[in-house]
């Protein structure tokens, strides 16, 4: 068990995780690590950028990755999955716009509206003599930097790159790639449309229409489950088609990231405000309540907390379990081994 204070433990673990994920996806740091799971690119990007504000080198490498690989990122999913906080939303928009402007050739970027008021520093404690104009237009003060040029394209055959592989196959604008990724990696034998839509990051209506088309094409199977339909696919057949030996593992990434982000924000606020033990416990109670759905979707049981005095300990437990989900897992899981997932 780490002896770091809880907020530092969370930030250190998530920063290390983010470096590890993007290194496997092609940012400028070589790695021999190879996680066995499939990543959710948009959810990972939304999670990563605020974390990278504590590590300017990571932040600039993410921008360079977006410059080279931004065409693989779905603006629609970014919009669906993006955080509610205005500052984080603008940060993501600025990073995407930066990648589009520095691509070769430049991809079309929407003109950002001029932000009013004082710009918010992207990095605390770094003096900005020449601000980046794109970030400035989104209300941020960030030192201007040239693309590092170190990024490479993601390895489409890697487990972590499954989403990109399917997008190359089905196209970025369709929900097909996300639906197949979910059905291929989920640990459920069959899945309802609502669960598929949540994971896919598309509306239920869109997912229902796409599922119908996939069923009509014989690529997905529909079975009746009670009064509604459930969906599955033949994993062996799909793995052969995709030329993969094993199913990547699934994690409920959007839920895990949302929960960890909320906990991290609260830990920073609590530390900054020097709260009393009681207010810290009361705040922990709020966080547990606010993240309960995501934590449970991530496969972590949330016990019913009856009083604030128990909440701080419960939240520590939840945080530890969430962080454990970020730990490396075995590289290969057989496609015939029943459950391909560890949630």
Report yes or no: 59 and 98 within 8 Å, Cβ to Cβ: no
Q: Which is nearer to another protein, 245 or 269 (CB)?
A: 269
Separation of alpha carbons 158 and 324, rounded Å: 22
CB of residue 266 vs another protein: minimum separation in angstroms?
A: 14
* The token pair that represents 83 in the structure block: 């955080």
Q: Which is nearer to another protein, 109 or 309 (CB)?
A: 309
Q: Which is nearer to another protein, 55 or 310 (CB)?
A: 310
Residues 63/64/65/70 CA torsion (nearest 10 deg): 70
Q: Which is nearer to another protein, 161 or 283 (CB)?
A: 283
| Among the listed residues 161, 156, 182, 166, the one whose alpha carbon sits nearest the alpha carbon of residue 35 | 161
CB of residue 321 vs another protein: minimum separation in angstroms?
A: 23
Report yes or no: 27 and 151 within 8 Å, Cβ to Cβ: yes
CB of residue 15 vs another protein: minimum separation in angstroms?
A: 30
CB of residue 309 vs another protein: minimum separation in angstroms?
A: 8
CB of residue 308 vs another protein: minimum separation in angstroms?
A: 3
Site residues, another protein (CB under 8 A) = 276, 278-279, 281-282, 285, 306-309
Instruction: Note if the bond before 105 is cis, omega within 30 degrees.
Output: yes
CB of residue 88 vs another protein: minimum separation in angstroms?
A: 23
Q: Which is nearer to another protein, 114 or 307 (CB)?
A: 307
Report yes or no: 302 and 318 within 8 Å, Cβ to Cβ: yes
Q: What is the DSSP pairing of strand 140-141 with strand 120-121?
A: parallel
Separation of alpha carbons 326 and 80, rounded Å: 23
Q: Which is nearer to another protein, 168 or 269 (CB)?
A: 269
């Amino acid at each position: 068990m780490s002896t770091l204070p809880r907020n530092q433990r969370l930030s250190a673990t998530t920063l290390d995780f983010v470096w590890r994920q993007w290194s496997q996806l092609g940012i400028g740091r070589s790695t021999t690590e190879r996680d066995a799971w499939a990543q959710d690119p948009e959810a990972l990007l939304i999670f990563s950028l605020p974390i990278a504000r504590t590590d300017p080198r990571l932040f600039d490498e993410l921008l360079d990755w977006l410059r080279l690989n931004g065409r693989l990122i779905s603006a629609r999913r970014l919009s669906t999955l993006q955080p509610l906080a205005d500052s984080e939303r603008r940060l993501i928009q600025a990073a995407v716009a930066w990648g589009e402007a520095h691509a070769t050739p430049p991809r079309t970027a929407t003109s950002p509206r001029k932000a009013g008021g004082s710009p918010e520093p992207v990095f605390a404690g770094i003096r900005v003599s020449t601000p980046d104009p794109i970030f400035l237009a989104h209300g941020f003060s960030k030192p201007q930097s040239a693309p590092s040029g170190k990024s490479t394209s993601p390895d489409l055959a890697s487990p972590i790159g499954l989403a990109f592989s399917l997008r190359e196959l089905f196209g970025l604008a369709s929900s097909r790639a996300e639906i197949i990724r979910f059905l291929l990696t989920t640990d459920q034998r069959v899945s309802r449309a609502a669960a598929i839509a949540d994971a896919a990051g598309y509306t239920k209506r869109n997912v229902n229409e796409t599922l119908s088309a996939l069923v009509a094409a014989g690529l997905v199977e529909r079975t009746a489950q009670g009064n509604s339909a459930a969906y599955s696919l033949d994993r062996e057949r799909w793995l052969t088609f995709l030329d993969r030996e094993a199913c990547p593992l699934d994690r409920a990434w959007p839920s895990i990231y949302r929960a960890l982000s909320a906990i991290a924000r609260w830990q920073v606020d609590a530390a900054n405000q020097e709260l009393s033990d009681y207010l810290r416990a009361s705040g922990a109670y709020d966080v547990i309540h606010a993240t309960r759905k995501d934590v449970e979707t991530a496969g972590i049981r949330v016990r019913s907390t009856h009083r604030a005095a128990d909440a701080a300990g419960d939240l520590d437990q939840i945080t530890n379990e969430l962080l454990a989900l970020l730990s490396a897992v075995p590289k290969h899981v057989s496609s015939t081994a029943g459950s391909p997932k560890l949630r």
